[in-house]
Amino acid sequence: MVAVTEQRAPVRNAPAPPRRRTRRVNRPRSWYLLPAAVFFGLFAAFPLVLVLYLSLTDWNGIGTPTFVGMANWVRLFDNDVIWDVTSTTLLLTVLFWVTQTPLSILLGVWAAGPQRNRAVLSALFFLPLLLSTAAIALLFNRMFDPYVGIGRGLEPFRNILGTTSGAITAIVIVVGWQFIPFHTLLYQAAARNVPKVLYDAATVDGAGRWYQFWYITLPQLKNTIITSSTIMIVGSLTYFETIFLLTNGGPGTGTRTLPLEMYFRSFRSYEFGYASAIASVLVIVATTISLLIVRFSGFAKMRSTLEGL
């Protein structure tokens, strides 16, 4: 019996499965940032470097600046007036935040509600934001005048600009009247984005409006509070027109702030080098405060809750 052997064809290597083509995600290139970088360099970085250089010189605005090193900075920190001006600036900044933030939150939450005639009242309330700062300061300056304004008939306002405490109060009122609408607009937009289901669940649990505002609305407005506070605090350090036209830094130096002192030193005393040192201090203080707010508020760790962002 002959054994039949089966011959098998040699097994060839099977072709490899086709590779899947991975779709490349178009990532923005660095040169896309060139227009913004040029704009920032021309209008922010270059002026800042120029101011820092002028703070090391003695210059009256005409001719060539004379390099004097750290003389302006030594004079700046040895001047008692600067410390008084700085304390006044910080006091006004705190008062602006303390008065504007609660009112802006309450008005913003109210404007986001379903009240009747809310749109009309909100539009009227936002009108001060559209007016000129100089016009508002001049208007209130005449309004607080003890002879022709409300001080003529109301005893508490008769000499409001004649005392340091009264002048500071007037500045807080005027600045708040103009800029509270802006921050109210921020809180109105944020309050409208709070999910309605949270309020519905709280209503089912028997929570009143106060508890809903305190435990639902305020926590949801955390990001907006940080943003509004940063804008408000940094802006408060640079207010000039309102204080200049309303009180001119008076009575005496009671309401003189760092921007106002910088103006007096540069355009009245023609000490542009010393004024540049004051401007540099303003930049350093504002930047430091902004970084501290971002650092300790946790704003840097926040991420968008929108899909894809």
Q: Answer with the residue of higher pLDDT: 49 or 308.
A: 49
Residue 255 lies in a domain: yes
Find the range with the poorest average confidence among 139-148, 169-178, 253-262: 139-148
Domain count, the chain: 1
pLDDT of amino acid 308: 43
Strands 57-58 and 66-67: antiparallel
Residue 2 lies in a domain: no
For 264, residues 6+ apart whose C-beta sits below 8 A from its C-beta are 249, 256
pLDDT band, very low/low/confident/very high, at 302 (cuts 50, 70, 90): low
Residue 144 lies in a domain: no
Examine the pLDDT at 57 and tell me if it is beyond 60: yes
Residue 161 lies in a domain: no
pLDDT of amino acid 71: 95
Examine the pLDDT at 113 and tell me if it is beyond 70: yes
- Domain with residue 213: its CATH number is 1.10.3720.10
Which two three-digit tokens encode residue 181?
Answer: 């609408």
Averaged pLDDT of the chain: 85
Residue 105 lies in a domain: yes
pLDDT band, very low/low/confident/very high, at 2 (cuts 50, 70, 90): very low
Predicted structure pTM score: 0.83
For 122, the domain range is 79-127+170-267
SS3 (DSSP) at 14: coil
Residue 59 lies in a domain: no
Residue 1 lies in a domain: no
Residue 199 lies in a domain: yes
Percent of the chain past pLDDT 70, that is, above it, reads 86
Q: Is the dihedral of CA 175, 176, 178, 181 positive or negative?
A: positive
What string of DSSP letters covers 130-183?
GS-HHHHHHHHHHHT-TTTSGGGT-GGGTTTTSSHHHHHHHHHHHHHHHHHHHH
